[in-house]
Structure 1
Amino acid sequence: MIDGAHTGPLHFSLLTLFPELLRPFTQEALLGRAVTAGLLKFDLHDLREHAGNRWRKVDDSPYGGGAGMVIRVDVVERALAALPVQPDEIILLTPAGKKFDQKMAEELAEKNHLALVCGRYEGFDARVESLVTREVSVGDYVMMGGEAAAACIVEAVARLRPGVIGDERSWQDDSYSSGLLDYPEYTRPAQWQGQGVPEVLQGGNHAAITRWRRDRALERTLSRRPDLLPSAGLTPHDSAALVDLGVDFGKLAALGAPPPPPVKTKRRKRKPSEPALTIQAPTDGGEQ
């Protein structure tokens, strides 16, 4: 959870060979509004400005041979040294880095200044690793450069800062923030091509809606990302929902889920006893 104690904007320094790829991204939509509101700050730094030669050449062929070109360590060193303010974190975007996730986004959102170093070609001289605080990958695939990866990280981190998005609850309930995938959402029209909106969402019973959303989030996570369930903070009611979805008690234990609440059995109502047959005893005077 972001505590909102920061007094200044979250500052991003983006080091890239193609700053014009990122400039519009930092100026539009919610990011642009947050910059105007003083919540975010972006600096774009062209690595070619620190090439150290009149050709602005930042790369060279790899020692030992092989295809492609490698960005030189001295170029990156000069670019980082030229930053007006030294960042809290210097992040190298590389397929070899630790995979970026929501937990890392929340951690980075607590910082004041992040520098993201975007690569191209065959990547960086390995000695660049000694200049950074962490290496990050946005997934198990290779792209043509680090600019798209930097954009992913900027969006995921910036939206966690207070005020950047309108309602902070909207990210607290998001996929991964809650520990589960997000529940399905609906809006008008209520009927579309034979598909309707679940009745519970139209009934106004907020407790029932909350439970329905949690159950649907559990259902989605179970079918699509069951690996998330052990760290999702499951409750006894969640366990009951998972049992209803077909999870057996052995699997519940493997997920670290608590036992579901005991089923309340309705007490069988006793049949009202038949009225007793009353016989009026004769009086001393005999039959009447």
Structure 2
Amino acid sequence: MRIDIISLFPEFIEAFYQHSIIGRARAAGLLELDVTSPRSFVYDRHRMADDTVYGGGCGMLMKAGPLYAAVETVRRDVPKRRVILMGPAGSTFNQVKARELAEYDQLILLCGHYEGVDYRVEKYLADETISVGDYVLTGGEIPAMAITDAVARMLPGVLGSAGSAVEDSFYASLLEYPQYTKPASFRGHDVPPVLRNGDHAKIATWRRTQALARTLQLRPDLLAHSQLSAKDREILARLKKELEL
């Protein structure tokens, strides 16, 4: 897979590309990553990628021309390609969308800045607009990095363990079960004995129960989208009685 981020601040994105799981995946050739600045396609003396807003108003708006040129330069001739604008008017990003985007051969993520981008970018250049939440950020770089990270985790070989992504919170519309590491006792708080007894069947049952319990208590809305077995429903019924829900 290839992911291209179009940003006025390429050094910010490059730093993200070089570290942790993303950096290792890139170095191993599991994920092709690049960043392109719209300023590379501006040829006036001041290299202005933005301009004032028609009709008046405060702030500056990113121009359509440099963004179109950047996308046309980086896009590859692949079967499945998606151009995505980071913006507050888009659908909210979640794990389902991450899995969907992981099926593409190339993602091109457009980062707005200042007061946003010329609407013709959203309407005619982008295939869709995605938001990472109902709050305001300075630009689209942080959302683009969040999407890159979430999508990369879905790709074969990117994580050290094939099961890691599957066990992540939200992957199956459930929160992840609690996890512990050494020491077994810390400041009077002990690791649950079931995790130390070596009985993998009991550990699996405990983990599933804990995942269901945490989801029921903290994010009950997720349960409507979860694939629950008959045993899961029995556990949930018992938990609701215990919690008096």
TM-score normalised over the length of structure 2: 0.93
2:66 alignment partner, one of 59, 64, 75: 75
Instruction: Give distance in 2, aligned partners of 1:184 and 1:103.
Output: 22
Residues 210-241 of structure 1 show CA distances to partners (whole Å, capped at 9, x for unaligned) of 11111111110011100000111122222221
Give the 4+ runs in structure 1 shifted more than 4 A: none
Alpha-carbon shift at residue 39 of structure 1 (Å): 0.7
Alpha-carbon shift at residue 82 of structure 1 (Å): 2.0
1:175-190 paired onto structure 2 within 5 Å: 175-190=169-184
Alpha-carbon shift at residue 247 of structure 1 (Å): 5.0
Instruction: Give distance in 2, aligned partners of 1:65 and 1:198.
Output: 62
Asked if 1:233 is matched to 2:232, the reply is no
Instruction: Give distance in 2, aligned partners of 1:70 and 1:86.
Output: 30
Q: Which amino acid aligns with 1:240?
A: E
Q: Contact 1:52–1:75 at 8 Å: present in 2 too?
A: no
2:93 alignment partner, one of 90, 96, 100: 100
Partner of 1:48: 39
Higher RCO, 1 or 2 (CA under 8 Å, sep at least 6)?
A: 2
Q: Which 5+ residue runs of structure 2 have no aligned equivalent?
A: none
Asked if 1:168 is matched to 2:162, the reply is yes
Q: Secondary structure at the match of 2:227?
A: coil
Asked if 1:126 is matched to 2:119, the reply is yes
Q: Contact 1:105–1:156 at 8 Å: present in 2 too?
A: yes
Asked if 1:195 is matched to 2:189, the reply is yes
Percent pairwise identity: 44
Alpha-carbon shift at residue 149 of structure 1 (Å): 0.8
Between Structure 1 and Structure 2, the one with more helix by share is: 2
Asked if 1:34 is matched to 2:25, the reply is yes
Aligned residues: 240
Aligned-CA RMSD value? 1.5
Asked if 1:11 is matched to 2:11, the reply is no
Q: Which amino acid aligns with 2:62?
A: I
Q: Which 5+ residue runs of structure 1 have no aligned equivalent?
A: 1-9, 252-288
Partner of 1:145: 139
Deviates more, 1:50-59 or 1:167-176: 50-59
Instruction: Give distance in 2, aligned partners of 1:84 and 1:235.
Output: 43
Partner of 1:24: 15
TM-score normalised over the length of structure 1: 0.80
Alpha-carbon shift at residue 56 of structure 1 (Å): 0.6
Q: Contact 1:91–1:134 at 8 Å: present in 2 too?
A: yes
Instruction: Give distance in 2, aligned partners of 1:247 and 1:124.
Output: 51
Give the greater-gyration-radius structure (CA): 1
Residues 51-91 of structure 1 show CA distances to partners (whole Å, capped at 9, x for unaligned) of 24221101111112111111111221122122262570111
Partner of 1:91: 84
1:211 alignment partner, one of 182, 205, 223: 205
Partner of 1:155: 149
